[in-house]
Amino acid sequence: MNHDGMAGYGEDRQAGRPAGLRSAEALRDTMGAYYRTLGEGSGGRPPVAWCSSVGPVELLRALGFAVFFPENHAAMLGAARSANRYMPLAHAQGYSQDVCSYLTSDIGAYLAGETPLSAFGLTSVPRADVLVFNTNQCRDVRDWFEWYGRRWDAPVIGVRSPRSIEQVTDGDVDAVAKQIEALIPTLEAVAGERLDGSRLALAVAAARECSDLWGACLGTAAARPAPLTFFDGTIHMGPAVVLRGMEEACAYYRTLLAELQQRVVEGVAAVPGESLRLYWDGMPVWGRLRALATTFAEFRTSVVASTYCNSWIFSDLDAGDPIRSMARASLNLFIARSEAPKEQYIERMAGQFGVDGLIFHDCRTCPNNSNTRYAMPQRLSSRLGLPSLVLDGDVNDLRCYSDEQGRTNIEGFVEQLADARAARRQAVGG
Amino acid sequence: MSTTWGTARPPADAGVIAAGVDAGTECVKAVIVSAEGRLLGRAVVPARGYFQACVYEVLVAALDEAQRAEGELAGIGATGFAMDCVPGATLTATEAACHALGAFHHVGERMTLVNIGGRDPHLIQVDTDGRRVEARNVRRCAVGVGSFLMFTARHLDVIPTRLQELASAAERPAAVSSYCSVFSATGILERLREGSTREEIALGCMHSIAERIVELGGFEDPVYVCGGVVEYFPGVMRALETLSGKVVRPIPDPIFTGALGAALKVLQTPQEA
């Protein structure tokens, strides 16, 4: 069947299946080993710190904590499509359907006494001895941690970050660095040891190396065809999230980078027959990752870059100035910035990866990671001459995502891009 | 070509014809079109039961009106919500592309086209070649226009096609929310309880739909409308004019625009030897 206007797009829905990465096995081993350490018996187990995903993890590494990232746990609930079973339990406790569905699905799963970590020998999320947040991404992480803090009578401490920052100033960095330093006495008390400056420098150096390697992996998608997609990235970013500051993460990304570079040399495409290239802004729809990856692949469209996967690249980290560089990295984060620097960032990415269009995910319960609500897609489309599509959905709450609407919108968008390209070629040729 | 509807190539002395099917959420539409783009036959049935059965019924009726046989079809173009349920389709294309082409066939100029079907209204920018260059859909909460009108008709105690008649008799619209189809439906009951007339509420519903579309922006002259809602509820078009401040004109046979575009796409596609 010819799908009109799309020059063969979707003509064989099996043919465009995305190609898997061999490194997936090493990824499973790396992540599995990490999860199993969280379940080690209390005898001899280091104290457990919960940390928000872009929180001051390097400090926790230096003090010997086992670090657990509840956002990673919530993403597992989303990817397993079990989140909607748990969210009502948190709603019944007074947490609105409109607040972060990571928060509601994670708390709901705890109340239900269930966790996907059972596959790694854990019966529950690891009980925290201290919970450390950074509000550079949102207030929800703090509210989330405070629920557990009340339940376990554990200290909840963190950084209350400025947001919507135009230019990161030395004053901003000083203020956040002071807040990071203020965490140290509580963390030392819980850890039962003093912070060793050299260990902190080592943790920051390892986090920077992980960050650089992850950035290099994502950067390979600038090649044509791209060797990995955004959907691959959301899976392979696991070590950058949960093992940042550890050699295990660096080791994994060396393996992944070698495979991706080999793919580039051999011209292996993540999306066979890649014809169109897109940028994704916003959160993934975890419960529809595979479905969306397959839909785009059917249309020979590769989502080659994203804000989300790149959010774990912290190029400001500097072992020579650990705490101030941690502060600067947390402030320079995309989500903490105002509209103008965000737009400049996406503009740079669109150019670097040579995209044909922009997709913005309007994530119902994550307004802080939805850049659709103050006309950014319209401004960028107009300035860059790139069409954009806004997809309504949610990170975990699948009630907010319509498969039919999503597919119809993607199909129409890809068709529009293909038509526009054909018209341009015709004009040039004619 | 091999389809459910026939396998024969048209006789040498008969003109080439093609069928277009728009399998929508509220209605399934079919047209038969000549190679010159002349509309030879058309039919519409409400969507109920299996889409395949509706498609069969509507295609047979359209062929009957055209006085042509299944075997003469050069191809069947399919579009709409259930385009994958059109047996024997030789081509599928998105609603935006088909409505753009169908409307352009009538109008022959670049335009802003508003397609208001039973599911989600679209605002489509059509270029000077009849191609859609941009399409915008309403927010997720504002979809389900057909179901909303059905609900309204039930609570105003009229058959759906009489809503327009009621609306025409109203002096002013009752306030009916446009944010969410469910809120809008509840709002109708509230207006009834408060004493609004059925006529005012019917007109309020037309305005509710128009508001969802106007907030999409991008109304550049000339503005045309098509789709089943316009066919049966021209009050929506007038509400669009009021709210957008633009002259809004209907595409002829607005409910068949998508099916027409699908058939024209078949005719534009090079035929197999």
Is B96 within 8 Å of A412 when comparing Cβ atoms? yes
What pLDDT is recorded for position A149?
98
User: Of B129, B137, B269, which has the smallest distance from its Cβ to A409's Cβ?
Assistant: B137
Is A138 inside any structural domain?
Answer: yes
Is A54 inside any structural domain?
Answer: yes
Which of residues B273 and A349 earns the better pLDDT score?
Answer: A349
Among A358, A235, A249, smallest CA distance to A307 is for: A358
What pLDDT is recorded for position B106?
96
Three-state DSSP class for residue B239:
helix
Which residues, 6 or more positions from A429, have their beta carbon under 8 angstroms from its beta carbon?
Answer: none
Instruction: Give the Cα separation of A298 and A16 in Å (integer).
Output: 5
Assigned token pair, A181 = 């330093």
Residue B2 pLDDT level (bands cut at 50, 70, 90): very low
DSSP B113: E
For residue range A285-324, what is the model confidence (pLDDT) as tens digits?
999 999 999 999 999 999 999 999 999 999 999 999 999 9
Q: Is the pLDDT of residue B79 over 70?
A: yes
**Chain B residue closest in CA terms to A6:** B93
Residue B252, preceding peptide bond in cis (omega within 30° of 0): no
Is A7 inside any structural domain?
Answer: no
For residue range B14-31, what is the model confidence (pLDDT) as tens digits?
589 999 999 999 999 999
Rounded average pLDDT over A92-99: 92
- Per CB-CB distance under 8 Å, the chain A contacts of B131 are 419, 423
**Chain B residue closest in CA terms to A411:** B94
What pLDDT is recorded for position A19?
64
DSSP-derived pairing of the beta strands B132-137 and B122-126: antiparallel
What pLDDT is recorded for position B6?
40
Half-sphere CA count of A234, side-chain side, radius 13 A? 26
Rounded average pLDDT over B222-233: 92
**Nearest CA distance, B23 vs chain A (angstrom):** 14
Which of residues B145 and A155 earns the better pLDDT score?
Answer: A155
User: Of A4, A408, A411, which has the smallest distance from its Cβ to B265's Cβ?
Assistant: A4
Is A117 inside any structural domain?
Answer: yes
Rounded average pLDDT over B167-171: 94
Rounded average pLDDT over A195-211: 97
What pLDDT is recorded for position A386?
94
Q: Which region among A36-50, A330-344, B192-206 has the lowest average model confidence (pLDDT)?
A: A36-50
Half-sphere CA count of B61, side-chain side, radius 13 A? 14
Is A239 inside any structural domain?
Answer: yes
Q: Is the pLDDT of residue A3 over 50?
A: no
- Per CB-CB distance under 8 Å, the chain B contacts of A415 are 93-94, 96-97
Instruction: Give the Cα separation of A370 and A364 in Å (integer).
Output: 8
Which residues, 6 or more positions from A185, have their beta carbon under 8 angstroms from its beta carbon?
Answer: none
For residue range B125-166, what is the model confidence (pLDDT) as tens digits?
999 999 998 888 887 777 788 888 888 999 999 988 889 999
Q: What is the mean pLDDT of chain A?
A: 92
Q: Is the pLDDT of residue A13 over 60?
A: no
**Dihedral sign for Cα atoms in the order A132, A135, A137, A140:** positive
Query: From chain A, which residues contact B within 8 Å (Cβ)?
Result: 1-5, 387, 392, 400, 402, 404-405, 408-409, 411-412, 415-416, 419-420, 423
Domain of residue A412 covers: 24-429
What pLDDT is recorded for position A11?
36
For residue range A370-381, what is the model confidence (pLDDT) as tens digits?
999 999 999 999
What pLDDT is recorded for position A217?
98
Residue B4 pLDDT level (bands cut at 50, 70, 90): very low
Domains in chain A, number: 1
Q: What percent of chain B has pLDDT over 90?
A: 66
Q: Count of A–B CB contacts within 8 Å? A: 57
Is A8 inside any structural domain?
Answer: no
What pLDDT is recorded for position B270?
76
**Dihedral sign for Cα atoms in the order B217, B220, B226, B230:** positive
Q: Which amino acid is at B239?
A: A
What pLDDT is recorded for position A4?
36
C-beta separation of B202 from B163 below 8 A: yes
**Chain B residue closest in CA terms to A5:** B93
Among B205, B214, B82, smallest CA distance to B152 is for: B205
What pLDDT is recorded for position A7?
32
Q: Pick from A2, A4, A372, A390 the residue to mutate for testing the B interface (most B CBs within 10 Å).
A: A4
What pLDDT is recorded for position B185?
83
**Could you give all domains of chain B from N- to C-terminal order, each with its CATH number?**
17-94+256-268 (3.30.420.40), 98-140+213-252 (3.30.420.40), 142-210 (3.30.420.40)
Is A4 inside any structural domain?
Answer: no
Predicted structure pTM score: 0.85
Among A121, A136, A146, smallest CA distance to A70 is for: A146
Q: Is the pLDDT of residue A6 over 50?
A: no
Among A230, A245, A243, A237, smallest CA distance to A285 is for: A230
Q: Which region among A90-94, A262-266, A355-359, A382-386 has the lowest average model confidence (pLDDT)?
A: A90-94
Q: Is the pLDDT of residue B13 over 70?
A: no
Rounded average pLDDT over A374-400: 95
Q: Which residue in the block uniquely carries the two structure tokens 């570079």?
A: A261
For residue range A20-70, what is the model confidence (pLDDT) as tens digits?
899 999 999 999 999 999 986 555 679 999 999 999 999 999 999 999 999
User: Of A1, A4, A392, which has the smallest distance from its Cβ to B140's Cβ?
Assistant: A392
Is A60 inside any structural domain?
Answer: yes
